[in-house]
Structure 1
Amino acid sequence: MIPVQGLAGGKVAVLGLGRSGLSAARALREGGAEVVCWDDNPAARDAAAAEGFDCEPFKTPQAFEGIARLIVSPGIPHLYPHPNAIVACALEAGVPVDNDIGLFFQSFATSAWGSFETMPRVVAVTGSNGKSTTSALIHHILEHVKRPCQLAGNIGRGVLDIEPAVDGEVVVLELSSYQTDLARNLTPDVAVFTNLSPDHLDRHHGMGGYFAAKRRLFAEGGPDRAVIGVDEDEGRFLAGQLSEGPADDRVIRVSVERKLTGPGWQVAARKGFLSEYRKGKQVASIDLRNVPGLPGSHNHQNACAAYAACRSLGLAPKVIETAFHSFGGLPHRSQTIAEHKGVRYVNDSKATNVDSAAKALEAFKNIRWICGGLEKEGGLEGLEGPSASVRKAYVIGREAAAFAMQLPVEAEVCGTMDIAVRRAAEDAQEGDVVLLAPAAASFDQYDSFEKRGEDFIAQVQTVIAR
């Protein structure tokens, strides 16, 4: 646990008692703060009360008298589409609002670091797609070289649940826009921006607000090194804002769509080959085509970002290349479940938006595509080109018929996962790939994309066992 510093003796309110909220409450108490909590879910309040936390509703600005700070869980809106009522009361009362990410950066460094030979460092990864795989890959590479490291944030453990850093340790954080938008402290040593595509637009009041939330990780913290995906306008703009000129190697530009040139530091992947250029000269090259855990151009982008981050930490190209080959990938992200009678079954349930689904479709050929769910704002534009390898779509979700009508390929309305998997398996021929890449959220039928992916796995196993 990371005890929260700077709030000892103060009274701090925590709103939302899921994983991050309860973790924050514990860390605040460990740091000497008086903690009061609230969650609209009675079961969550009972769990907090069982750990000795007082629960108060904070329904008026007057209820915040004497409160030093309000800590808000990521899923609770603080501004758009409109502030949560308790957040609004805190703001009216003039109480600072923060989250567990802000508390982490406020508290990570300790007096014990004075005896360390190598200062601990934080690598923070954000972006629309690929941030989980990129974060996990960086962590895997660091483990491969036996460097002390921990993985936390939007993936794995809560940021305040990790152990205090030891000499030379690297903490890798995956940070969502919900987390970067509110944190009062954002000071990573290395910050990574993978890419940007439309997502969470209601929460951020459009693409401008969404990009602004991501940009805070770089603008607020001033990282020593910034790894920026420059295949979108926003990434190129961000790289330009952070750089003092073309030769400024504090910014490492990353691409899988264009050849990068110039005197700076660039990492790009084209036709399956990763290349690193510095000062106009190529210094390393890696063949990614046979790396099993990183299939497709979207994973090659993740590999470039992770490679750049690890190079900024001083790791050698050959060491990183070796680690790539032992990376197994993450569940629900281009995850091969089985190969049966010449048909490959791939679970990419994490492809919850059009852009991530398009990248999954581009990674394979002869696709039997299982898609559908809770459609996100912006519709399904952008799937026509990537769907060229789709032989047929099998659509799930409560609004499967309406979803199917928007697809640029032959589509069969299945409704549920069991029917979709069975029909895709019946139609599949040797060499086909049955791919779950929903291009939609899961919440119309499942509690999470993980539950959706687990159902896909279960249905595949049932079909294969017949």
Structure 2
Amino acid sequence: MIPVLGFEGERVAVLGLGRSGLSAARALRAGGAHPVCWDDNPAARERAHSEGFEIKDISRDGAFADIASLIVSPGIPHLYPEPNKVVALALEAGVPVDNDIGLFFRSFATSEWQELDVTPKVIAVTGSNGKSTTSALIHHVLSEAGKPVQLAGNIGRGVLDIDPPESGGVVVLELSSYQTDLARALTPDVAVFTNLSPDHLDRHAGLGGYFAAKRRLFAEGGPDRAIIGVDEKEGQFLAGQMSEGASDDRVIRVSVERKLSGPGWSVFARKGFLSEYRKGRQAGSIDMRNIKGLPGSHNHQNACAAYAACRTLGLAPKVIEKGFASFGGLPHRSQLIAEANGVTFINDSKATNVDSALKALEAFRKIRWICGGLEKEGGIAGLKPGLQHVLKAYVIGREAANFAMQLHGVEAQVCTTMANAVAQAMAEAGEGECVLLAPAAASFDQYDSFEKRGEDFIREVEKRL
């Protein structure tokens, strides 16, 4: 646990008592604060009460008279589309609003670090797609290289649940826009921006607000190294803002769309080969074509970002390549489920938006595509470049018929349920083909989460093999 510093003897309100909220309450108490907890869910309140926390309805007028700060869980709106009532009360009372990420960064470094031979570092990863895989890949490579490393944030453990770092320790954080948008402190040593595509626009009042939330990790944090995907205009703009000039190697540009040139530091992937250039000369390369845990250009982008992050810590290209080769991938993200009778089964349930689904479609050939669900704002027209690889679509979800009608030029069958879609796809799949779950939609019309949807896909595949 990382005890929260700076609130000794003060009352700090915690709104939302899920994983991050309870973790924040425990860390606040460990640092000498008195947490005052609230959640609309009675079961969540009971869990907190069983751990000895004070439970108080902070949605009532006057509740913030003796509160030093309000700590808010990521799923609770603090500004758009409108602030949660409790957040609004705190702001009206002049009480600072923060989250567990802000608490982590204000508390991570302590006076005890003076006794460590090598100062610990934090690598923070954000972006629309690929941040989980990039974070896990960095963690895996560092672990395989024998580094003391912990994975936390939006993946792995809660940020305040990790162990105090040892000498030379590294913490890898995956951070969502919800987390970067509100955190009052953001001070990573290395910050990574993978890419940007429309998502969570209601929470950020549009694409500009969404990008601004991601940008805070760099603008507020002032990292020693900034690793930035430059295949979108927002990434190019961010790299330009962080750099003092073309040769400024504090910024590492990443691309999977083109060869990057110039006197600075860059990592790019083309035709299955990752290349690192510094000062106009090649400094390293990796053949990605046979690395099964990282298929497709979207995973090559993840690999470029992870490679750059590991290089900033001094790892040699061959050491990184060895780590890549043993990386098994993450569940529900281009996850290889099985290979039978020449047919490959891939679970990419995390492809909940058009951009991530398109990358999955472009990563494979001869696809029997299981898609559909709760359609997101903007429609699915952006999938068109990847549809050339689709032999047939098997559409699930409550809006399956409407989804299927938008798949122009592709044979589509309305299956509605996962069981029907898997059964039909497996019956029709032949040697050399791929049955791919990449929904291009949210899961909430039929499932509690994309994980549950992916698990259902796996279950239906396995019982038919």
State the TM-score, normalizing by the size of structure 2.
Answer: 0.99
Shift of 1:60: 3.5
Q: Look up the match of 2:145.
A: 145
Shift of 1:365: 0.3
Q: Deviations over 1:165-189 (max 9, x none)?
A: 1110000000000000000000000
Contact 1:61 1:92 in 2 (8 A): no
Q: Look up the match of 1:63.
A: 63
Shift of 1:57: 1.5
Q: Look up the match of 2:375.
A: 375
Distance 2:310 2:177 in 1: 23
Q: Look up the match of 1:424.
A: 425
- 4+ long deviations beyond 2 Å: none
Q: Which residue identity is paired with 2:185?
A: N
Distance 2:252 2:61 in 1: 46
Map 1:302-321 to 2 at 5 A: 302-321=302-321
Distance 1:338 1:433 in 2: 10
Q: Deviations over 1:32-82 (max 9, x none)?
A: 101111111111011111111111111234110010000000000000011
SS class of match (2:104): helix
Distance 1:40 1:411 in 2: 43
Distance 2:179 2:436 in 1: 31
Shift of 1:83: 0.5
Distance 1:50 1:387 in 2: 53
SS class of match (2:358): helix
State whether structure 2 residue 278 is matched by structure 1 residue 258: no
Shift of 1:196: 0.3
SS class of match (1:208): helix
State whether structure 2 residue 119 is matched by structure 1 residue 119: yes
Q: Which residue identity is paired with 1:451?
A: K
Q: Look up the match of 1:189.
A: 189
CA RMSD of aligned residues (A): 0.7
Map 1:286-297 to 2 at 5 A: 286-297=286-297
Q: Look up the match of 1:415.
A: 416
Identity %: 76
SS class of match (1:66): coil
Map 1:376-395 to 2 at 5 A: 376-395=376-395
Unaligned runs of 5+ in 2: none
Distance 1:442 1:258 in 2: 34
Q: Look up the match of 1:400.
A: 400
Unaligned runs of 5+ in 1: none
Shift of 1:444: 0.9
Q: Look up the match of 1:452.
A: 453
Distance 2:205 2:280 in 1: 40
Q: Look up the match of 1:360.
A: 360
Q: Deviations over 1:335-375 (max 9, x none)?
A: 11111111111000000100000000000000000011111
Q: Which residue identity is paired with 1:298?
A: H
Contact 1:61 1:93 in 2 (8 A): no
SS class of match (2:186): coil
Distance 1:209 1:237 in 2: 15
Q: Which residue identity is paired with 1:396?
A: I
Q: Deviations over 1:369-394 (max 9, x none)?
A: 00111111111121111111000111
Shift of 1:463: 1.5
Contact 1:273 1:288 in 2 (8 A): yes
Distance 2:400 2:17 in 1: 34
Shift of 1:285: 1.1
Q: Look up the match of 2:443.
A: 442
Q: Deviations over 1:276-321 (max 9, x none)?
A: 0000111111100001110000000000000000001111111101
Q: Which residue identity is paired with 1:430?
A: E
Contact 1:246 1:263 in 2 (8 A): yes
